[in-house]
Amino acid sequence: MPPDALTPDRILEATEEVLRRYGPAKATVVDVARALGVSHGSVYRHFPSKAALREAVTARWLERSEVALAQVAAGAGPAPERLAAWLESLFEAKRHKAGDDPELFATYMVLVGEHSQVVERHVTTLVGQLTEVIEDGVARGEFAAGGPAAEPARAARAAWDATNRFHDPAYAADWASDGIRPAFEAIRALVLTGLGASA
Amino acid sequence: MPPDALTPDRILEATEEVLRRYGPAKATVVDVARALGVSHGSVYRHFPSKAALREAVTARWLERSEVALAQVAAGAGPAPERLAAWLESLFEAKRHKAGDDPELFATYMVLVGEHSQVVERHVTTLVGQLTEVIEDGVARGEFAAGGPAAEPARAARAAWDATNRFHDPAYAADWASDGIRPAFEAIRALVLTGLGASA
């Protein structure tokens, strides 16, 4: 491959930088093409529209968190500890993205507002990770088999919804507030007890 | 009192009707005065600004739900049943207000966006009701004294936050969706189990 072959990855890297510089409202495909030194037609050969490019770049940006969270979910410790650490890592990742990468976070919020399949897939992936931790915990006798954890997929979705104050971008303005840490810990404790976590 | 004395209550009733007809963006104090057959100066003698009038009318509108919910909280049955019924009534009241009284709900959302003290007081009142049910349940041995319910105010706030998908107006568009009922029941079960509700 020649060093400057125009691959989808190179286009997405350039798009991230362009989005960081101009924000989702002002960034254009022409800006991306200019940053790469190619015609906008060359970009369109890989991504048929600005919307497709925006979705692909956001999907890639979200996947980085998904990979990191999958490692937490698949760790070696007891399931309740992994679930606690997973919720912590999720909140940390969202807060980091909102605070330190505001233009890409704004792009993500545009897709949330459009009910994009990228956002739907992201939620499905993360709820799937939670489901596996709960299933594993029930199998090992670390979550009560008789309560809500008996239906791991349903319990995972409930745990996801119950913690939405800490991952739903609608609450992003709240994530730097004073009371957010004790609020997070109180809900996490309620969720873990609700799943019948053995102490 | 003469039948047409201009009381704060009469002004608030007229304001509700004006808001329902014109919506929060278009309704003016002059419209309210016209509906009452008085000058706008007479209205201003009771409410010094349009903002004050909007806050008072929303507070009154929210208080109706608070009174109904207080009755559910203070009922005679076991605390876990009262808490389950209370969450159900809260969701029902919010859904009813959003669906059947959209202009006053929109007014409420304006105040939410402005971080109005009216909204803050409403949340404090409702979390206070939840706290009393949890305290009562712990005293009667119907919630586990050793888990999250041991700190009733903190547990009440956690239960409030955990169910925000069913009462936070940011989610109102979701309240008529297909999956909302099972999602509500799953979270309610998780919260009740988390409080150590005796079966």
Closest CA to A22 of A93, A106, A97: A106
Q: What per-residue confidence (pLDDT) applies to A169?
A: 92
Asked if A191 lies within 8 A of B162 by C-beta distance, the reply is yes
Tell me the pLDDT band of B15, cut-offs 50, 70 and 90.
very high
Rounded CA separation B167/B105 (Å): 12
Give the other-Cβ count within 10 Å of B103's Cβ: 18
Residue A24 per-residue DSSP state: H
pLDDT above 50 for B189 = yes
Q: What per-residue confidence (pLDDT) applies to A190?
A: 96
A155, A158, A187 member nearest B158 (Cβ):
A187
Average pLDDT, chain A: 94
B161, B187, B190 member nearest A165 (Cβ):
B161
Q: What is the pLDDT of residues B122-176, one digit of tens each?
A: 999 999 999 999 999 999 999 999 899 999 999 999 999 999 999 999 899 999 9
pLDDT above 50 for A143 = yes
Chain B environment of A190 (Cβ under 8 Å): 148, 155, 158-159, 162, 190-191, 194-195
Chain A environment of B191 (Cβ under 8 Å): 162, 190, 194
Q: Calculate what percentage of chain B has a pLDDT beyond 70.
A: 97
Tell me the pLDDT band of A193, cut-offs 50, 70 and 90.
very high
Rounded CA separation A25/A179 (Å): 32
Amino acid at B45: R
Q: In Å, what is the CA distance from A135 to each residue of A126, A130, A182, A191?
A: 14, 9, 28, 15
Q: What is the pLDDT of residues B42-93, one digit of tens each?
A: 999 999 999 999 999 999 999 999 999 999 999 989 999 999 999 999 999 9
pLDDT above 90 for B5 = no
pLDDT above 60 for B199 = no
pLDDT above 80 for B2 = no
Rounded to the nearest angstrom, the minimum Cα separation between B44 and chain A is 35
Q: Calculate what percentage of chain A has a pLDDT beyond 90.
A: 89
The B residues from 101 to 160 touching A (CB cutoff 8 Å) are 147-148, 154-155, 157-159
Rounded CA separation B185/A164 (Å): 16
pLDDT above 50 for A1 = no
Q: What is the pLDDT of residues A57-72, one digit of tens each?
A: 999 999 999 999 999 9
Sign (positive/negative) of CA torsion B81, B82, B84, B89?
Answer: positive
A157, A182, A194 member nearest B194 (Cβ):
A194
User: By the CB < 8 Å criterion, does A161 face chain B?
Assistant: yes
Q: What's the longest Cα–Cα distance across chain A? A: 61
Q: What per-residue confidence (pLDDT) applies to B19?
A: 94
Q: What per-residue confidence (pLDDT) applies to A29?
A: 95
Can you give the residue ranges of every domain in chain A? 1-48, 54-194
Q: What per-residue confidence (pLDDT) applies to A4?
A: 65
pLDDT above 70 for A56 = yes
Per the model's pLDDT, the better-predicted residue between A5 and A80 turns out to be A80
Fold held by A54-194? Tetracycline Repressor; domain 2 (1.10.357)
Tell me the pLDDT band of B1, cut-offs 50, 70 and 90.
very low
Q: What per-residue confidence (pLDDT) applies to B4?
A: 65
Contacting residues for B146 by C-beta, under 8 A, at least 6 apart: B196
B157, B190, B196 member nearest A158 (Cβ):
B190
Rounded to the nearest angstrom, the minimum Cα separation between B58 and chain A is 23
Which of B161, B164, B185, B195 is the best substitution to test chain A (most A C-beta atoms within 10 A)?
B161
HEC sequence for chain B: CCCCCCCHHHHHHHHHHHHHHHHHHHCCHHHHHHHHCCCHHHHHHHCCCHHHHHHHHHHHHHHHHHHHHHHHHCCCCCHHHHHHHHHHHHHHHHHHHHHHCHHHHHHHHHHHHCCCHHHHHHHHHHHHHHHHHHHHHHHCCCCCCCCHHHCHHHHHHHHHHHCHHHCCHHHHHHCCCCCHHHHHHHHHHHHHHHCCCCC
Rounded CA separation A98/A169 (Å): 8
Give the other-Cβ count within 10 Å of A1's Cβ: 5
For residue A5, what are its two tokens? Answer: 């072959």
Find, in chain A, the residue whose alpha carbon is nearest to that of B181.
A158
Q: What per-residue confidence (pLDDT) applies to A130?
A: 98
The A residues from 75 to 104 touching B (CB cutoff 8 Å) are none
How would you classify residue A104: left for phi > 0, otherwise alpha for psi between -120 and 50, otherwise beta? alpha
B147, B170, B190 member nearest A170 (Cβ):
B170
Chain B environment of A123 (Cβ under 8 Å): none
Amino acid at A108: Y
Q: What per-residue confidence (pLDDT) applies to A5?
A: 85
Q: In Å, what is the CA distance from B111 to each residue of A169, B55, B106, B167?
A: 20, 7, 9, 15
Angle between helices B79-100 and B102-113 (to 10 degrees): 110
B158, B187, B189 member nearest A186 (Cβ):
B158
Question: Do residues B133 and B181 lie in contact, with contact meaning Cβ atoms separated by under 8 Å?
Answer: no
Q: What is the pLDDT of residues A74-108, one digit of tens each?
A: 998 999 999 999 999 999 999 999 999 999 999 99
Q: Calculate what percentage of chain A has a pLDDT beyond 70.
A: 97
Could you tell me which CATH number the domain at B58-194 has? 1.10.357.10
Find, in chain B, the residue whose alpha carbon is nearest to that of A199.
B147
CATH 3.30.450.40 is the classification of domain A1-48: no
Rounded CA separation B157/A80 (Å): 22
Find, in chain B, the residue whose alpha carbon is nearest to that of A154.
B186
Chain A environment of B157 (Cβ under 8 Å): 183, 186
ipTM of the complex: 0.88
Q: What is the pLDDT of residues A13-53, one digit of tens each?
A: 999 999 999 999 999 999 999 999 999 999 999 999 999 99
Asked if B154 lies within 8 A of A186 by C-beta distance, the reply is yes
